[in-house]
Structure 1
Amino acid sequence: MLELLNDPAVWASFLTLTILEIVLGVDNVIFISIAASKLPEHQRARARFLGLMGALILRIGLLFSIAWIVGLSKPIATVMGWEMSWRDLILIAGGLFLIYKAATEIFDEVEGDHLHTAEERVVEAVFMSVIFQIMLLDLVFSVDSVITAVGIADHLEVMIAAVCVAIMVMIVAANPIADFVESHPSTKMLALAFLVMVGMALVADGFHYHVERGFIYAAMVFGGAVETLNLLRQRRRRKRV
């Protein structure tokens, strides 16, 4: 273990993998923030923390089962020329679930009862059901995350260290991101639209139509930049008033 610390290649793979894990975890943090928003306010931070800690435990467990994870990519059946694997089924199911959750949230935001305030329209969800939803999506994101780790790093210790650092960064960022999204309805709609896009990318990956994540994140950055300009314009208008 100690000799790994003196290898520049190990540090390079650790930094690369850590950055990738943080980037790949953005959609996970957004989903966790929106799922936890259905809970009473005093339970939201706890749900976000437990969701991310669950993701950490799940990813470390999967890293110790690398042979099994790699085996998930092996075809188990062929349907009309499509070689189906367990990984494909997990991605398709997770993508459809993500699209469903994001679409229902968008519907609730747009078609909700306008006679009540936003706070009154929030349905207080059962705490454990929200944790279950978070863990279900964590499983989908963890499979892709672990496969990415295996492709970049050669040492299990490096993979675990990178995943731990990335999850800790997400734990620190989760509450500020959630508060910002909740206090800006237009930003929440944009985040939900991103989740629909990520869900469609997961389904496409499951059917072997790979969508480069770079295009998805470029769209996110562009949409985020436009939203930032809108928020700045709104702030200037409020100051004038």
Structure 2
Amino acid sequence: MPSSLLFKSILFFQAKPHSFPLPHITAMSTKTKTRLRGVVFDMDGTLTVPVIDFASMYKAVLGETEYRRIRQENPSGIDILHHIESWSPDEQRKANEIILDFERRGLERLQIMPGAAELCGFLDSKKIRRGLITRNVKQAVDLYHQRFDIMFSPALSREFRPYKPDPAPLLHICSTWDVQPNEVMMVGDSLKDDVACGKRAGAFTCLLDEKGKYDSADFAKVDLEPDFKVASLAEVQSLLETNFDLMP
């Protein structure tokens, strides 16, 4: 199905108010297992150990005062890429140079997330498709593939527009795989980017929250809830086996 038609066929997720914290692993209540044919991963902080100091990067781009103001208005986090789109071309150029500098320094310390290789091996054993969507640059994706010898296809980087939290990249992957979004799970560590992207596309979502960040009161009023929440990638295999019929 062409991605444009697939996009039109999906009803956007209407988030319902909830209160964090979620249980350690939040599972579906249904007794009938749903077919799952593919898993799409975020990269930074999900497939890789977090190394980029995003707060410092945002402050460098926005300035301390503006950073604090925007942070207070957006408890789920700052979408710096969308924020700078309204700036003048010269301001955008300078902002992108700062962002790229932080990302390049992050590449020097790139580490695979514990449990990522094992989870990918499990998905391969079940012939479940694996995709990747990141707001980082293609260079980072290529380095991940080369350094850890784990491939994702499609692997969409920031060069694919529009990027998360828009559902377009996830819908594009579903179209490429010739599967429906409700047969796919989006796994990531960002509520505002990964969970929002998955929900808007009509996919299942799994929030990776290693340190209990989303249990804090800051997120109590965020009207967006993942289908599942885990503290490590090691928990995802059990989650998938318990709740889904894994069929390619």
TM-score (norm 1): 0.27
Structure that is richer in helix per residue:
1
Tell me which structure has the larger Cα radius of gyration.
1
TM-score (norm 2): 0.26
